[in-house]
Amino acid sequence: MQHDAPATPSRLVGGTPAFRRLNLALFAAGFSTFAILYCVQPLLPEFSREFGVSAAASSLSLSLSTGFLAVSMLVAGSLSEVWGRKPVMVASLLASALLTILSAAAPTWTGLLVARMLIGVTLSGLPAVAMAYVSEEVDPKSIGLAMGLFIGGNAVGGMAGRIISGVLTDLGSWRLAIGLIGAAGLAAALAAWRSLPASAHFQPRRAHPAELLRSLHGHLRDPGLRALFAEAFLLMGGFVTLYNYLGYRLTKPPYSLSQSAIGAMFSAYLIGTWSSAWIGALADRLGRQRVFWTMIAIMLAGVALTLFQPLAMVLLGIVAVTFGFFGGHSIASSWVGSRAPTAKAQASALYLFCYYLGSSTVGTLGGVFWTHEGWPGVAGLVTGLLMAALALAFWLAKLPPQSHAAVPGRGYSN
């Protein structure tokens, strides 16, 4: 008697109940991750005052987290190829939340930096793995929307972490703010554990270092993926640098804003929440190449607006930069997942390695430009990065639809 082979589970399609459950679970995970990671950003001037450190040194509370996150994701992405997506993501959320609560009690500047460094390591299990999870479980026609919604959750978490930390610092202290954000992270870890569906299309790989290194090398041989990795460095480096030193500018005359007001500036991330989903879906219809370079051009226009003194112009510029960044990031991140035919978590990890490497290195370098040149120096640095990103985007659009360089016999979808 002939038995039919078991049917392959269908992939999740936008508009279905399963698709909505997936995105709600990932939204909670992304919210927690980015709230924990970026809650210190509006507190940089506060750290400078309490611990007596410079602007560049204060930025290490964020840059160390993003730097160690960048390196650790290369390991976490490879481990998820062996252990599975959901276990790595849930463990990452739980450990990060516990460390955040501990960091709120750090007695010294060094202790706080060590805690933030460890948080970068533990957070690494979510971003790259979640990108791979989406690319494996979601129908190709809905990937742009799904990735945009996930990044939108990141944006809301980043915004909420910054606003909450700013308000609670004015009402109580930065320690209270960070501790409560860590407690919210515990709740998000529980929600992800209970609600995130198990992978239906994940194929575990052998825990063989040589094989994992070969697949990493295969990704790096593809010119399209290399270009996308470089875009991640340039765009994130510029974006974080602008926000890092915005607080220093706005606490000084003629603005003299409070921590709560500066934290409220991050409500611009609501624009990022909307743009990431909308632009991701738009790129699915019009083509990634055409929409991608437009997002970078919008970021450049926004940086130019921040050079004007009226607060309304500065805020308009920040909104434009935020809109362009999240739209561009949603396109580039989904592009990586669709271009890499195998070991998608590794490809995503390489993308995010460059993404957070840009955040950590350029974010701290911007402190030097702020100290010596003020806001025009910061804006000039960011403009240079975005001009390079725009040129690379035009080059990326000229690449052929497929590249066979990375894996012989296997095409990378453009």
Give the CATH number, domain containing residue 231: 1.20.1250.20
DSSP SS3 for 297: helix
Q: Check if the beta carbon of residue 38 is closer than 8 Å to that of residue 162.
A: yes
74-111: string of b/e by CB count within 10 Å (b at 16+)? Answer: bebbbbbbebbbbbbbbbbbbbbbbbbbebbebeebee
pLDDT digits (tens, 9 = 90+) for 109-146: 999 999 999 999 999 888 768 877 887 777 777 777 77
Split into its structural domains, the chain has a count of 1
Domain-located, residue 246 = yes
- Tell me the DSSP string of 168-200: HHHHT-HHHHHHHHHHHHHHHHHHHHHHSPPPS
| Average pLDDT of span 378-398 | 93
Name the more confident of 269 and 366.
366
CA 82, 83, 84, 88 torsion-angle sign: negative
Query: Does position 7 have pLDDT exceeding 80, yes or no?
Result: no
Task: Provide the residue range defining the domain that includes 66.
Answer: 17-196+207-406
DSSP state of 7: P
DSSP SS3 for 8: coil
Domain-located, residue 136 = yes
Query: Does position 24 have pLDDT exceeding 70, yes or no?
Result: yes
Highest mean pLDDT among 116-130, 222-236, 375-389: 375-389
pLDDT digits (tens, 9 = 90+) for 44-77: 888 988 999 988 899 899 889 988 988 887 787 7
Query: Does position 399 have pLDDT exceeding 80, yes or no?
Result: no
Position 257 confidence tier, pLDDT thresholds 50, 70, 90? confident
Percentage of residues of the chain with pLDDT beyond 70? 86
Give residue 398's Cα distance to chain centre: 26
Domain-located, residue 393 = yes
Q: What angle do CA 309, 311, 317 make, to 5 degrees?
A: 85
Domain-located, residue 412 = no
Domain-located, residue 12 = no
Domain-located, residue 201 = no
Percentage of residues of the chain with pLDDT beyond 90? 32
Domain-located, residue 4 = no
CA distance linking residue 117 with residue 148, whole number of Å: 28
Position 8 confidence tier, pLDDT thresholds 50, 70, 90? low
CA distance linking residue 40 with residue 164, whole number of Å: 10
Give residue 90's Cα distance to chain centre: 18
Domain-located, residue 414 = no
